[in-house]
């Protein structure tokens, strides 16, 4: 072999070695990205811990007495982030002010609607299944604390079942059977249509003795509306 051929052979070997190293680095990079994606997906699927609240003043999807002089209604979608903001903020203050004190002045009615897509429908159906066992408000708290974006698997049927395992005393087998049957599909569809017929166009929408306001309003404004309607603090 001539010296020029030898040089060309060595150059070819070096190029092949560099290409092998690049390929190995590329494979390693893909593996790292894949592993990170799995970690992120796993974290997204894990339920956030929720401190469940005792609500002796709750029945069905209602808080407070049926004969209260002021009725506060909320139309909400379980996937709606502003609904979650209202549920974990203003609604808790409403409970602390009017229900825990036993004032009897306010009744709160929650209307689950499915405005944002199929996972809104499934989540509302799941809440109805929890309601069968008197666990609606526990599941309400868990859903609003565990949103994962709109129709991205956060409220898939499997995750809705997984979230239900965090409710003490819930018969999960009965809950799962209920959810798989979709027996509340028509109920949720009817409630959604009734909301639209009433003029509800966005979530959350709050109605105080017939006075309607859109958005995750703060407790100060809600309390003013209650007072003007005869509830008082």
pLDDT tens digit sequence for 172-220: 999 999 999 999 999 999 999 999 999 999 999 999 999 999 999 999 9
Length of the chain: 233
For 83, the token pair is 């609904």
Cis previous bond, 204, omega within 30: yes
CATH 3.90.25.10 fits 58-228, yes or no: no
For 191, the token pair is 């409630």
Q: Is the pTM of this model over 0.75?
A: yes
Task: Determine the angle formed by the axes of helices 185-197 and 118-132, rounding to 10 degrees.
Answer: 110
CA distances from 93 to 28, 65, 222 (A): 52, 17, 10
Residue 42 has pLDDT above 60, yes or no: no
pLDDT confidence tier of residue 43, bands split at 50, 70 and 90 = very low
CA distance 100 to 107: 12
> What are the residues whose beta carbons fall under 8 Å from the beta carbon of 149, sequence distance 6 or more?
79
For 98, the token pair is 């009017």
In this predicted model, what pLDDT tens digit does every residue of 21-40 receive, in sequence order?
A: 776 776 766 554 454 444 44
């Amino acid at each position: 072999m001539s010296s020029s051929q030898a040089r060309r052979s060595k150059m070819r070997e070096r190029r092949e070695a560099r290409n092998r190293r690049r390929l190995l680095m590329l494979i390693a990079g893909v593996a790292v990205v894949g592993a990170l994606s799995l970690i992120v997906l796993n974290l997204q699927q894990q339920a956030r811990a929720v401190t469940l609240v005792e609500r002796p003043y709750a029945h069905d999807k209602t808080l407070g007495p049926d004969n209260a002089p002021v009725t506060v209604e909320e139309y909400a979608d379980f996937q709606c982030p502003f609904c979650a903001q209202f549920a974990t903020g203003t609604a808790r203050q409403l409970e602390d002010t009017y229900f825990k004190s036993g004032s009897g002045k306010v009744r709160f009615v929650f209307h689950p609607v499915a405005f944002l897509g199929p996972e809104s429908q499934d989540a509302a159906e799941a809440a109805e299944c929890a309601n069968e066992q008197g666990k609606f408000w526990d599941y309400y708290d868990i859903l609003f604390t565990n949103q994962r974006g709109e129709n991205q698997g956060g409220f898939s049927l499997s995750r809705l079942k997984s979230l239900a395992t965090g409710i003490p005393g819930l018969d999960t087998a009965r809950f799962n059977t209920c959810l798989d049957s979709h027996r509340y599909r028509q109920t949720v569809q009817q409630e959604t249509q009734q909301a639209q017929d009433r003029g509800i166009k966005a979530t959350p929408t709050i109605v105080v003795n017939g006075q309607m306001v859109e958005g995750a309003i703060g407790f100060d404004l809600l309390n003013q509306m209650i007072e003007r309607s005869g509830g008082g603090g």
